[in-house]
Every structure is written in C-alpha cells, then in structure tokens.
Copies of this chain bind each other. A is one copy, B any other.
Amino acid sequence: MSDFDLERFLPYLLNQAAEATSRSFNDIYRKAYGMTRTQWRVLAHLGRFGALTARQICDRTATEKTKVSRAVSSLEIEGWLARSPSPHDGRAEILTLTPEGQGVYADLGQQAKRYDAALRAELGPELTTELDGLLRRLIAKGGTDGAAQD
C-alpha cells in the first residue's frame, strides 16, 4: 500500500485545471464552427503566424502529425485553409488561411482573448505571470517527443 494520492499528483492536477478552464471555450468553437480542438489549434497558429507547413505546426504545438494532417484536411474542406506547394521542398506544403478562415480566426481570437482575460482576472496579474512561468518551465522540461492523449 503506497498511500499515493492522485489528487496531489501534479500531472493530474494540471490535466484537471486544463480541462476545467477549457471546457466552456471548447463549446464555443465546437458549436459555432463545428471545430475540434486540433482544428482550432491549427487555425489559431496559422492565423497568428501566417504561412506554415504542417510539420512546423506539429513542432510548435507538440501535436502528432496525423492529427494535424486530418485537421488540415477538414479545415481545407470547410474552405478556411489553402495549401500551396513549397518552393523549397517538394514534399512540404505551405498552409495559409483563406479570407474566410481569417474571419473565423478573428472571431474566435477575440472571444479567446476575452475568455483568457476573465480567467486571469480571477487570479490577479502577479499570480498569472507567475503561473505562466511555471507552466512554461514544465512544458520545456517535458521534451519535444510525441504528442498527447487528451
């Protein structure tokens, strides 16, 4: 008997906090645009950084390539994303948002900013910057391997 307490386990706490804080925002992009979380991430990254390849998105978001691949397909089908061949690498494709996709990004980005501000307001400015720092340290430490499961 190890008397291990899951409720004090840092990965568990982080996961619970992640789920608790993302719950209602999930509903927003899911109900308004029928988007999955991966789709939202891909769209947000392209909206923010412009043209990227799928691989770059994988690296930046630590997401499996199959997940990104499928998210890209569906975003393309929705008409929010366009592919063009990379001039430097015949295997890669440059991904960009269409004007419609940029509209979606603008809408959801606004809502996300408000949502984030509300969350941070509850903790206060000093604590949230502290929290950011802690989370980044944990993320950095986790390494750049595979991806996630929920």
Contacts and interface: CB of A to CB of B under 8 A. Distances in A.
B105 A2 contact: yes
A116 B23 contact: no
A70 interface: no
Question: Most B CB atoms within 10 A — which of A11, A21, A134, A137?
Answer: A11
A8 B29 CA distance: 18
Contacts of A137: 122-123
A116 B13 CA distance: 11
Contacts of A18: 11, 14-15, 17-18
A77 interface: no
- Classify the secondary structure of A's interface with B: helix
Contacts of A3: 48, 109
Given A14-B14, A17-B139, 12 more contacts: A3-B109, A4-B108, A4-B110, A4-B112, A10-B132, A11-B25, A11-B116, A14-B18, A16-B135, A17-B138, A17-B142, A22-B149
Interface of A: 1-23, 25-26, 37, 41, 44-45, 47-48, 60-62, 102, 105-110, 112-113, 115-116, 119-120, 122-123, 127-128, 130-132, 134-139, 141-143, 145-150
